[in-house]
Amino acid sequence: MLGLGEAYVQGFWECDALDQLFDRLLRAEVCRVFRRHPLTVLIHLRALLFNAQTAAGAFRNGRAHYNLGNDLFEATLDRRMAYSCGYWRDATTLDDAQEAKLDLVCTKLGLKPGMTLLDIGSGWGSLVKFAAERYGVRAVGVTVSEEQARFTRQSCRGLDVEIRIADYRSIDERFDRIASVGMFEHVGPKNYATFMRVAERCLGEGGLFLLHTFASRDSFPDRDRSEVHWINRYIFPGLVVPSMGQIGSAVEGRFIVEDVENFGADYDPTLMAWNERFSANWPMIRPKYGDEFERLWRYYLLSCAGAFRSRKYQVWQFVLSREGVPGGYRRDAMH
Nearest CA-CA partner of 242 in 282, 195, 203: 195
- DSSP 3-state assignment of 119? strand
Specify the pLDDT at position 46. Answer: 56
**DSSP E strands, 175-271:** 175-181, 203-216, 256-262
Specify the pLDDT at position 29. Answer: 82
Identify the residue with better confidence: 294 or 331: 294
- For residue 222, is pLDDT > 50? no
**CB distance 262 to 243 below 8 Å:** no
Specify the pLDDT at position 41. Answer: 46
Identify the residue with better confidence: 56 or 69: 69
Specify the pLDDT at position 226. Answer: 59
Q: Which domains does the chain have, with CATH numbers?
A: 2-334 (3.40.50.150)
Specify the pLDDT at position 49. Answer: 53
User: b/e string for 225-246 if b means 16 or more Cβ within 10 A?
Assistant: bbbbbbbbebbbbbbbbbbbeb
Nearest CA-CA partner of 83 in 217, 72, 91: 72
Q: Specify the pTM.
A: 0.92
Cα–Cα distance, 75 to 276 (Å, whole number)? 10
Q: Which of 106, 156, 202, 304 is catalytic?
A: 304
Specify the pLDDT at position 54. Answer: 79
Ramachandran region of residue 27, left (φ > 0), alpha (ψ -120 to 50) or beta?
alpha
Specify the pLDDT at position 88. Answer: 98
**DSSP E strands, 82-197:** 116-120, 138-143, 161-165, 175-181
Tens digit of each residue's pLDDT (9 = 90 or more) over 65-85:
999 999 999 999 999 999 999
124-128, 195-199, 214-218: which has the minimum mean pLDDT?
214-218
Identify the residue with better confidence: 93 or 43: 93
As a whole number, the mean pLDDT across the chain is 92
- For residue 148, is pLDDT > 80? yes
Long-range contacts: 293-298, Cβ < 8 Å, 24+?
295/8, 295/9, 295/11, 296/9, 296/234, 296/235, 297/72, 297/76, 298/18
Cα–Cα distance, 243 to 77 (Å, whole number)? 26
Q: 317 forms bridges with which residues in the sheet?
A: 212, 261
Specify the pLDDT at position 38. Answer: 57
Tens digit of each residue's pLDDT (9 = 90 or more) over 25-50:
999 987 665 555 455 545 555 555 55
**CB distance 239 to 306 below 8 Å:** no
37-51, 96-110, 173-187, 259-273: which has the minimum mean pLDDT?
37-51
Cα–Cα distance, 236 to 246 (Å, whole number)? 20
With bands split at pLDDT 50, 70 and 90, how would you rate the model's confidence at 331?
confident
Asked if 304 is an active-site residue, the reply is yes
